[in-house]
């Protein structure tokens, strides 16, 4: 038995990848530990969406490299989006690394592991993904309630700021049968929530050349599986949300009434510069359509502050959009230039760090304001929640839970446990969470 430590940066797709990496390595006698100091193998699964995330990977490698000086038998690996993109600089900056593998090479690990155990230095990064039936390998899921299923990987959109098409390649959908089999295993193992993952989850099936294979139909098929569980899907691209998808969400009682639809900017000129395939008005229409179909739906978004050439007025359009659309929550970030992307070449239009971070702060302030307003709307309503955690404070049992619409709800209860569903009447709202009392 050997100890494996994996540190995961970045998005849910990376978290899901790490669970799969850990599962594959378990076939070779590696057991995951939370304590990096007792590991025989250290792996960092990296993100390169912004410079800050990429820098974190290198600083961690630096620390681990020092450890290896006194413990040369320690194996160090790096994978994920920085690895896929940056193998040359990794070799230069961290020559002691034993294993570099890309996002396309996870299923090559069985042979790579044998090679590093023979003290070879290995680098496996290809542009063509190594594809295997994922159900042939164990998955070491981290959460006991929610299980991720990646259904489509990669992106064909090439938004001008974004590195993902370069780190994850073009869109590749998994076969519906393989996904359903994974879902059945998840339900059998007692998970209560399945989250379907994709950089553009609503593009699911487009590359499989069968018009019946769509996200909407996949939701319908999963909804038919027996068991008490719920289904989520992220991330949606605004103009790819079809009427059929909205209908499927409505029909399927297990599918949560929740949409994550990044808008990125509230100004149509900036959206065009970003190569987003919708205008501000079209985004407004999509939100309106969803809100009229589902009364208690929540819609969350992502925004970038300070895209090259963004004027103060154009930035104000973003703040206005967040208000007018009553968005329930948004992830926010200051624009960070990424290698290979078009926007990174617009250097003459770059804004100063100061302007970007001032705008980011205003975005965050607006976000806090609309989040509180959104939460207050639920006071007096009853939400069905899934218990994710229990904290005991001064002998009172407080349950941390999540509603179908993704709101975090805390309530006191002595009967429910992690993995139980409950109906909770909301009594109090704060910026990031709700409080309530169990009913019925």
CB of 43 to ligand F3S, least distance (A): 14
Binding mask 228-257 for ligand SF4 (x = CB under 6 A): ---------x--------------------
Q: Which stretch binds ligand F3S (CB under 6 A): 11-19, 135-143, 290-298, 369-377?
A: 11-19
Q: Does 157 bind ligand SF4 (CB under 6 A)?
A: yes
Q: How far is the CB of 49 from ligand F3S (least distance, A)?
A: 4
Is 61 an interacting residue with respect to ligand SF4 (CB under 6 A)?
Answer: no
Partner from ligand SF4, ligand SAH, ligand F3S, none contacting 407, C-beta within 5 to 8 A by type: none
Q: State the minimum distance, in angstroms, from the CB of residue 158 to ligand SF4.
A: 6
Q: Which stretch binds ligand F3S (CB under 6 A): 26-34, 47-55, 178-186, 316-324?
A: 47-55
- Under rule CB under 6 A, residue 432 binds ligand SF4: no
Other CB atoms closer than 10 Å to residue 412's CB: what's the count? Answer: 13
Residue (333 or 418) nearer to ligand SAH, CB: 333
Minimum distance of ligand F3S from residue 264's CB (angstroms): 14
C-alpha–C-alpha distance, residues 294 and 255, integer Å: 12
Q: 177, 220, 168, 221: which is closest to 198 by C-alpha? A: 168
Query: What are 148's strand-pairing partners?
Result: 195
Q: Is 168 in the site for ligand F3S (CB under 6 A)?
A: yes
Q: Which residues bind ligand SAH (CB under 6 A)?
A: 49-50, 161-162, 164, 199-200, 235, 237, 262, 264, 302, 304, 333, 335-336, 338
**Binding at 167: pick from ligand F3S, ligand SAH, ligand SF4, none (beta carbon under 5-8 Å per type):** ligand F3S
- How many CB atoms within 10 Å of residue 408? 16
Give the residue, chosen from 83, 164, 304, 351, that forms a contact with ligand F3S under the rule CB under 6 A. Answer: 164
Q: 191-201 in b/e burial notation, b at 16+ Cβ within 10 A? A: bbbbbbbbbbb
Pick between residue 49 and residue 429 the one whose CB is nearest to ligand SF4: 49
Vertex 54, ends 316 and 307: CA angle to 5°?
A: 20
217 near ligand F3S (CB under 6 A): no
Contact between 112 and ligand F3S by CB under 6 A: the answer reads: no
| Residue 13 site contact among ligand F3S, ligand SF4, ligand SAH, none (CB < 5 to 8 Å, cut-off depends on kind) | ligand F3S
Among candidate residues 86, 77, 82, 85, the one with its CA nearest the CA of residue 108: 77
Residue 54's binding partner out of ligand F3S, ligand SAH, ligand SF4, none, with CB under 5 to 8 Å set by partner kind: none
**Closest by CA position to 95, among listed 124, 127, 62:** 62
Question: Which CB, 106 or 159, lies closer to ligand SF4?
Answer: 159
Residue with smaller CB distance to ligand F3S, 205 or 262: 262
Task: Point out which residues bind ligand F3S (CB under 6 A).
Answer: 10-11, 13-14, 47-49, 80-81, 163-164, 167-168
- Residues near ligand SF4 (CB under 6 A): 155, 157-159, 162, 164-165, 199-200, 237
């Amino acid at each position: 038995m050997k100890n494996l430590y994996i540190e995961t940066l970045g998005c849910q797709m990376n978290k899901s990848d790490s669970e799969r990496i850990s599962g594959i390595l378990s076939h070779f006698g590696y057991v995951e530990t939370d304590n990096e100091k007792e590991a025989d193998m250290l792996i960092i699964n990296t993100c390169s969406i912004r410079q800050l995330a990429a820098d974190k990977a290198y600083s961690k490698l630096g620390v681990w490299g020092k450890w290896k000086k006194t413990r040369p038998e320690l194996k160090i690996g790096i994978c994920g989006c920085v690895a896929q993109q940056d193998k040359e600089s990794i070799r230069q900056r961290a020559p002691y690394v034993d294993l570099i593998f890309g996002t396309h090479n996870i299923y090559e690990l069985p042979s790579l592991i044998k090679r590093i155990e023979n003290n070879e230095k290995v680098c496996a990064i290809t542009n063509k993904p190594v594809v295997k039936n994922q159900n042939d390998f164990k998955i070491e899921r981290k959460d006991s309630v929610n299980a991720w299923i990646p259904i489509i990987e990669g992106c064909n959109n090439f938004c001008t700021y974004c590195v993902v098409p370069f780190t994850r390649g073009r869109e590749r959908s998994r076969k519906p049968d393989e996904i359903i089999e994974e879902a059945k295993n998840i339900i059998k193992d007692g998970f209560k929530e399945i989250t379907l993952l994709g950089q553009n989850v609503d593009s699911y099936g487009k590359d499989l050349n069968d018009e019946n294979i769509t996200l909407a139909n996949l939701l319908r098929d999963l909804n038919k599986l027996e068991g008490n569980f719920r289904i989520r899907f992220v991330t949606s691209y605004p103009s790819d949300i079809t009427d059929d998808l909205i209908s499927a969400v409505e029909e399927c009682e297990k599918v949560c009434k929740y949409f994550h639809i990044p808008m990125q900017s509230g100004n149509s000129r900036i959206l065009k510069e970003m190569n987003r395939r919708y205008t501000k008005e079209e985004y407004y229409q999509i939100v309106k359509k969803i809100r009229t179909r589902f009364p208690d739906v929540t819609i969350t978004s992502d925004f970038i502050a300070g895209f090259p050439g963004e004027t103060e007025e154009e930035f104000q359009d973003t703040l206005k959009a967040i208000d007018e659309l009553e968005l329930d929550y948004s992830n926010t970030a200051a624009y960070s230039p990424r290698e290979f992307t078009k926007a990174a070449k617009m250097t003459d239009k770059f804004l100063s760090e100061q302007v970007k971070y001032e705008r980011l702060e205003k975005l965050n302030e607006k976000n806090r304001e609309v989040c509180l307003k959104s939460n207050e709307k639920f006071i007096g309503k009853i939400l069905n929640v899934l218990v994710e955690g229990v904290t005991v404070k001064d002998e009172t049992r407080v349950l941390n839970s999540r509603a179908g619409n993704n709101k975090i709800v805390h309530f006191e209860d002595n009967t429910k446990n992690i993995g139980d569903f409950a109906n909770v009447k909301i009594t109090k709202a704060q910026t990031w969470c709700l409080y309530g009392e169990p009913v019925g």
